[in-house]
Amino acid sequence: MEYTEPEGEQIPIAVMRHRATDPAQRIGSLFFNPGGPAVPAVQQVTSIDAATGAGMFSPAVLARFDVIGMDPRGVGESGEVRCLTDEQRAARASADLDPTVPGGKPLAELQADATELAEGCLAHQSPEFLASLSTDNVARDMDQVRAAIGEEKITYYGVSYGTVPGPMYATLFPDRVRQMVLDAPVDTELWHNDRLALLDDVDQANETTLAAWFDTCRTEGVQVCPFGDGNPEAAFDALIAQLEAHPLQVAPVEGLAPGGTLDGAVALEAVRSGAGARSFWPILTAGLMSAQQGDGTALHFLMSIVTVAPFGAPLAIYQEAHNAVRCVDWQAPTDIAAHTAAATEITERGGRMGYRAAYSALNCAAWPVQNDDPVTGPLTGAGAPPILVVGGRLDPVSPHHWAEATANDLESAVLLTREGVGHGSYRTSGACIDTAVDATLIDGDLPADGAVCTPEDPTTTKPAAGPGGNTGQ
């Protein structure tokens, strides 16, 4: 559990391997982290279907690599952190948030929630275990798995938060990296040292992708995007106000969606998710129009199935582990005034999503443990092979300047930009990105630095063409 005490307490780490489908051409092991933090990698490996090409990797990659999914400590089957009772989770899920109030609730209630979470975590896990969940320990765990399966070097793909343990591993163990791809990267300098600025960036990225949906709807015209009759912003604001004043009750859809209440706050969460994923734009448009007519099913469905973690509102089943990982990495200020100042700055910008970003690091201000020997950077990967950094121009979570910062921070990196909207680019954005990532992973053949891929433009009512698979965690 603690690498400074190698003879001390041991903890289990869950690992699953999908064998290379062409063993004669096998290159080695490909480790991956699907983000979150707290999205289980083992679960993602079980979803790989080499016959149909479904899953996070192309058939060409699956042929050449054993894909290794390791649930980081405190996540999934590696001792998943639990802090709340079922009753407490249900109460939080049904909380009536007010989109006109920073954080959705009065500050005193937000602080009470943070205290409840912290106390619950200590009641269910040892403080030593909670303090050990840092990304540098995850990187060390990866190296233990590498050694255990007999690999001299690993190939690595990380998306979203998965781009934090990647550079950490390349910095701690550069000679054990064969190739690495970082998709929708996090600015690790902000991650470790300025989490309030990081969350402010995420809020602005949310607003930018929603603005892109508005612009596309208006440009297409009412024949293609009739929502708002040419003024989608005004129609949107009116709809959110209407739903907050008169929420819609949504019946459950058996085996598909749980149902519930669609008010203004829930609708904003659905829109944040839907606007940030190009493949969901048609569902978002249909959902907004249906809600105008009194049917909230589609918007509530979007809210219930989509997440754009690592910093937003992860699916409820991951939420406690999500907080446990980021809080031990972040060491957030305990001074509530700092959180209030950041929340004020966000809300005074006047954006539509600011209320939910405000106070979003408050749980970490009350966190009951800390990592006493964190590795906080700079994460340069000095000595590792050139790393491919893939950044989306309009990413709802990881703004493009984070990709630029990542490429600059790494000693040797190539930046590939994907135009358009979306969180994560590989397997969601067409052949240009997929070919570049596959060539990097398989052959170590990186594109030219500064190269740009332009997928088919999505419309608000017609899905964009492209391969299936991961929609970006």
- Judged against a pLDDT cut of 90, whether residue 473 lies above it is answered with no
The residue whose two tokens read 């024949």 is 223
pLDDT in tens, 340-387: 999 999 999 989 999 888 999 999 999 999 998 889 879 999 999 999
pLDDT at 255 over 80: no
- Bridge partners of 49? 54
**Residue 316: per-residue pLDDT:** 57
Regarding predicted confidence, which is higher, 472 or 59?
A: 59
Average pLDDT of the chain to the nearest whole number: 91
Give me the pLDDT at residue 463, please. 64
d(CA 287, CA 262): 11
The residue count for the chain? 473
Cis ω for the linkage preceding 258 (within 30 of 0): no
Determine which of 187-191, 304-308, 440-444, 458-462 has the lowest per-residue pLDDT on average: 304-308
pLDDT band at 261 (very low <50, low <70, confident <90, very high): very high
What average pLDDT does this structure show over 94-118? Answer: 94
Q: 274, 280 in Cβ contact below 8 A?
A: yes
| Contact between 181 and 416 (Cβ < 8 Å) | no
Confidence bin at 306 (pLDDT 50/70/90): low
Confidence band, pLDDT 50/70/90 cuts, at residue 318: confident
Angle formed at CA 100 by CA 99 and CA 104, multiple of 5 degrees: 50
Give the chain's domains with CATH numbers. Answer: 15-78+132-192+380-453 (3.40.50.1820), 86-130+311-334+350-365 (no CATH), 196-305 (no CATH)
pLDDT tops 70 at residue 425: yes
The one-letter amino acid at 426: Y
Residue 111: what pLDDT? 96
Q: What is the mean pLDDT of residues 220-242?
A: 96
**What pLDDT does 93 receive?**
79
Model pLDDT, residue 468: 37
Instruction: Answer yes or no: is pLDDT of 332 > 90.
Output: no
